[in-house]
């Protein structure tokens, strides 16, 4: 490989590699089977990539670890390798608390994000979609 090709390959990797490291699947199925063993509503297919592309939403608007009332989560912790450590259910224990956390976070954001404009689903069936 000549020197020019090596430089180009290195530059391409410098641009592409960080995106690969932080890549998330397009949709995440939120089912928490261990907590919600038998539910009336189906699991939620969460369009994570759509939320990542929003200009007025940052990762720490959803992902958090509070200490003394302040979100101290470092966004460097938000990796696929660290995924099991940053699950909502790790801190929000049990069905009522976890359900309340999801609903507060999701519906609350959709209600407040763009006052006067539709900012996402707010009704149960809009997220908990039944298979046809």
CATH number for the domain spanning 88: value is 3.90.10.10
Residue 2 lies inside a defined structural domain of this protein: no
* Average of per-residue pLDDT across 20-38: 74
Q: Could you tell me how far CA 14 lies from the centroid of its own chain?
A: 25
Residue 36 lies inside a defined structural domain of this protein: yes
Classify residue 59 as left (phi > 0), alpha (psi -120 to 50) or beta. alpha
Residue 45 lies inside a defined structural domain of this protein: yes
Residue 32 in contact with residue 119, Cβ under 8 Å? Answer: no
Residue 76 lies inside a defined structural domain of this protein: yes
Where is 10: in which H helix or E strand?
helix 3-21
Residue 64: band (very low, low, confident or very high) from pLDDT cuts 50, 70, 90: very high
pLDDT, the chain, mean: 82
**pTM of the full predicted structure?**
0.71
Residue 36: band (very low, low, confident or very high) from pLDDT cuts 50, 70, 90: confident
Rg (C-alpha) for the chain, rounded Å, is: 19
Residue 88 lies inside a defined structural domain of this protein: yes
What CA–CA distances, in Å, run from 1 to 4, 5, 131?
A: 8, 6, 53
What CA–CA distances, in Å, run from 20 to 15, 17, 43, 75, 86?
A: 10, 5, 27, 15, 19
Residue 65: predicted pLDDT: 92
User: How many separate domains does the chain show?
Assistant: 1
Which residue range forms the structural domain that includes residue 115? 24-127
């Amino acid at each position: 490989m000549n020197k020019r090709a090596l430089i180009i390959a290195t530059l391409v990797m410098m641009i592409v590699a960080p995106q690969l490291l932080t890549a998330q699947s397009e949709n995440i199925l939120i089912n928490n089977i261990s907590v919600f063993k038998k539910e009336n509503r189906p699991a939620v297919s969460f369009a994570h990539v759509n939320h990542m592309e929003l200009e007025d939403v940052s990762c720490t608007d959803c992902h958090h670890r509070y200490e003394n009332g302040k979100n101290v989560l470092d966004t460097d912790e938000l990796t696929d390798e660290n995924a099991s450590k940053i699950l909502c259910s790790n801190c929000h224990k049990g069905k009522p608390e976890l359900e309340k956390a999801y609903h507060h976070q999701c519906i609350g954001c959709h209600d407040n994000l763009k006052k006067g404009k539709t900012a996402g689903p707010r009704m149960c069936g809009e997220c908990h979609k039944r298979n046809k």
